[in-house]
């Protein structure tokens, strides 16, 4: 995955602060882990963001890429799109 484009003369790093860098690292990790598990990262993130607000915190591991990949293999395509 390419880093986000920036102005050639900006001289800034992609993350302007430590906390921003940590958030970016977490997002890149989720995206790459989704790819490693055979998921389309955009579809994976859309699904997780749609589900996370109503998802019980004690079952948050169900939203990790390897668990979502298994869930998607176990259900038909039509149910995922709904």
pLDDT band, residue 13 (cuts 50/70/90): low
DSSP 3-51: PPP--TT----S-SSHHHHHHHHHHHHHHHHHHHTT--HHHHHHHHHHH
Q: Quote the DSSP letter at residue 11.
A: -
**Residue 54: what pLDDT?**
94
Burial class from Cβ neighbours inside 10 Å (0-12, 13-18, 19+) for residue 68 reads buried
Average pLDDT, the chain: 84
pLDDT (0 to 100) of residue 82: 44
The predicted structure's pLDDT at residue 20:
83
pTM over the 0.85 mark? no
Among residues 1, 56, 59, which one has the least CA distance to residue 31? 1
The 10s digit of each residue's pLDDT in 15-41 is 567 788 888 999 999 999 999 999 999
């Amino acid at each position: 995955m390419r880093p986000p484009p920036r102005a050639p003369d900006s001289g800034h790093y992609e993350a302007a602060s430590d906390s921003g860098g940590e958030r970016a690292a977490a997002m890149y990790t989720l995206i790459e882990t989704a790819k490693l598990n055979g998921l389309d990262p955009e579809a994976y993130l859309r699904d997780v963001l749609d589900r996370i607000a109503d998802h019980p915190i004690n079952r948050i591991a169900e939203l990790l890429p390897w668990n979502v990949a298994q869930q998607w293999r176990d259900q038909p395509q039509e149910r995922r799109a709904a």
